[in-house]
Amino acid sequence: MNKGPIVELSAQLKDIAKDLSFLGHPRYPLNKLTKLFPQHQAFISELEDVSIPFGVNVKAKRLAMDKFLTNLEQADISKAMKQIFTQRLEDYHTLLSMMENFDNMFFYDHCTKLYGTSHQSTQNNSFLYFMEKIPDFCVPDVGEKNLKGEAAMNYLRTRLKETFVDTDIEVRPSTSLLSDSSAGRKVLKLNPYKSYSTQALDIFLVHEGWVHLGTSLNGAAQIEHPWLSTWAPRTTFLQEGLAVLTELITGCMTHERWSKVMLRHLATTMAERGSSIQDVYSFLRHHELEELDAFKLSLRVFRGVPLDGGMAFTKELLYLHGMVQLLYHQEFYQKDLKSLWVGKLSFEEHIVLMDHPSDIHANLRYYPIGLEDPLVKMRLKKLQELSYSLFKSGFL
């Protein structure tokens, strides 16, 4: 197969995707937030107001997409690859529509096209039973000491070097995160003002480091298929599911961490069913989240949608939905985890890679050696068996 067009199309797709990760830097109605949550004025002052436009020329982006489709139609590549590129382009079109409708009900409509809703899973007794069984795979937080600031970042730097070449990764402080940590293409960011047990830092190591950084670096190393280095919303489903699953099978998932993952899902469900941001915040405080943590999570749930309730930013559902779907997917296709680490993949794209092994040669530069541990593989197998027994016809 001619690989030239794939490289060229990948470069065009990457250029289209540039600046479309705007959801990581959301805007909010700051005056309204200040009135509702005066106690969090200091953090609110670090956010951007919804009136500030996104720095994206929507018209130019759509014209670039039209040109891409013309080039794609004429390209001498397989039908499967054309499908991958087309689906990703559809994602970017939806993102632009979300950008154009930020902070209104139409944003939510487009959001559900990308990330789904909670309505189906919360009525699925098998899903609810599966969630009840997960604490059996969780552990107490036995981290030896609490680390903060530079000490916490140095701990992560040292642990990351066990898997990655140190010139490929960087750990930086960030005070504006809506979570305690996040990962970019080469950077892991950490809130420097909080204290963390070593076990909590190990969660960031495997979630943000092994999964998000690892797949980014592996994607960037692809020669014949550089599209694997480019993010698209459909890859988030697999990525977040893989990250939470990795926490579980490596024995990092504490009961406290699992409770927070569940609260994220429940808070999103509440918002979709009519709860306001104040209701969600009160619910999270009732479940003993610290004030600022409860506020940040509430902001995550209400990204891009009105604060009055009935809508949510449903990407927050993908941590649990993605994990269950991934377990079912892996058990059904009988593939090991390595094939998921080649870059930023969706479930559909992973199937294409498995179906065309002679055409698509994906390199694997980094793979955490900790995932080869027999105990890790045993936990994975037990979770797969549990998932497959409950979702014999698929999860969603």
293-309 residue pLDDT tens: 999 999 999 999 999 99
Q: How many percent of the chain have pLDDT more than 70?
A: 97
Mean pLDDT for all residues in the chain: 91
Characterize the bridge pairing of strands 27-28 and 48-49. Answer: parallel
Rounded CA-CA distance 92/81 in Å is 17
DSSP 8-state symbol, 147: E
Alpha carbon of 329 to those of 222, 225, 323, 326: distances in Å? 24, 23, 10, 5
Cα 61 from Cα 55, distance rounded (Å): 12
Contact (Cβ atoms closer than 8 angstroms) between residue 125 and residue 330: no
With cut-offs at 50, 70 and 90, classify the pLDDT of residue 390. Answer: confident
Share of the chain above pLDDT 90, in %: 76
pLDDT of residue 1: 41
Average pLDDT for 99-118: 93
Longest dimension (CA), the chain: 60
| pLDDT tens digits for range 12-26 | 999 999 888 877 778
Domain residue spans in the chain? 126-254+318-390
Q: Answer whether residue 135 shows pLDDT above 90.
A: yes
Is residue 66 predicted with pLDDT exceeding 60? yes
pTM recorded for the entire structure: 0.93
Instruction: Report the DSSP pairing between strands 181-183 and 195-197.
Output: unpaired
pLDDT band at 335 (very low <50, low <70, confident <90, very high): confident
Do the beta carbons of residue 154 and residue 198 sit within 8 Å? no
Which phi-psi region, left, alpha or beta, contains residue 187 (left: φ > 0; alpha: ψ -120 to 50)?
Answer: beta
Where is pLDDT greater, at 316 or 332?
A: 316
Confidence of residue 392 (pLDDT cuts 50, 70, 90): confident
Spatial distance between the Cα atoms of 345 and 338, rounded to a whole number of angstroms: 12
In 10 A of CB 16, how many CB atoms?
Answer: 22
In this structure, of 138-147, 150-159, 274-283, 315-324, the range with the lowest mean pLDDT score is: 138-147
CB 233 within 8 A of CB 115: yes
The predicted model gives 136-147 an average pLDDT of 85
pLDDT at 193 (0 to 100) = 86
How many helices (H) and strands (E) in the chain?
17, 7
Q: How far apart are CA 139 and CA 37, in angstroms?
A: 35
| Angle, alpha carbons 58-63-68 (nearest 5°) | 120
